[in-house]
Amino acid sequence: MAAIVSEKLLDWYDEYARDLPWRARPGEPAPDPYRVWLSEVMLQQTTVAAVKPYFEAFTARWPTVEALAAAPEEDVMAAWAGLGYYSRARNLVKCARAVAELGAFPEVEEELRKLPGLGAYTAAAVAAIAFGQRAVVVDANVERVVARLFNLTDPLPGVRKVIRACSDTITPETRAGDFAQAMMDLGSSICTAREPKCLVCPLANHCRARAEGDPASLPVKAPRKAKPVRQGRAFWIERDGSVWLVRREGQGMLGGMRSLPDNGWSARGDGADSAPLEGEWEAAGLVRHTFTHFALELSVSRYRGADRPSGEGEWWPLDTLDEAGLPTLFAKAARLALA
């Protein structure tokens, strides 16, 4: 089964491969490892459509890993704003600096895993796609394809070891990078989470779930636990066409990012209700935002007065607020305050 699956899938990929800015077309030389690595980091828990403009902006501003390594971390964090999961951006800078010190990306999976922020998936993807190494690359799309192909009915996350072992059996010795990308493309366009297009799937005749059960029901996911809800408060302080922004602590939730002052909700769960200035505050409304492990209800308060907050911060002109690199949560709060 393994040889015929990889052969059919690669034939399909040669004809239907997606045209993406970080990819090389089938038959072309492998892409720059920097572009492969950058795209894979950006694509973690993020859609291709969302990543494309960020990838193009990053590679225009920092065209090489050495250029990114030399960039101030705060500039990278600001350019990342809106992509979420901001620890990825911090690790991006650390990894770029490590690679620049080495002189190049390592070519083998084991050495790639030693770089900051490179887990099993990213290291395997870079090894296979950029360097042509045989590596087993398993993302969410590949999980879905393999679970259906082998009719794996045990629930996630427990079945992941079996999925990886099955993926290993069908990964070819040559064109491993194209095979990995073909699996990703198949999962995103044909073997989709809902209503898989089995009639046009190149692997339909080899899919055990199609022959024995219901492909759309796989992979089986454990019931989601309800996320706890935190409450917090953000403060909009405006004066002479500018708003007061602070920079968050370098580690922790949204670390290193510019933001509105808040009441510490990220550190203590429910922040103490302390405002940065005494005086008249008015409620601007409520922003809801979902993080990985909890949901947040952030009330936004506007200040009426001429006092300057104590502590470190900066007045940022409202007409260039889009350039401040506010994370999505505080961009939402800013839009609410300005409305």
List 7, 40, 110, 249, catalytic entry: 40
pLDDT-derived band at 271, boundaries 50, 70, 90: very low
Please give the structure tokens belonging to residue 278.
């005494």
User: Could you tell me the domains of the chain?
Assistant: 2-217 (1.10.340.30), 229-338 (3.90.79.10)
Checking if the pLDDT of 267 tops 60, the result is no
Residues 6+ apart with CB under 8 A from 119: 113
pLDDT-derived band at 265, boundaries 50, 70, 90: confident
Checking if the pLDDT of 282 tops 90, the result is yes
Q: What is the average pLDDT score of the chain?
A: 93
Rounded to two decimals, the pTM is: 0.86
Checking if the pLDDT of 174 tops 90, the result is yes
pLDDT-derived band at 3, boundaries 50, 70, 90: confident
- Distances 44 to 4, 84, 118, 161, 179 between C-alpha atoms, Å: 30, 10, 11, 20, 19
- Residue 195 annotated as catalytic: no
* Model pLDDT, residue 310: 86
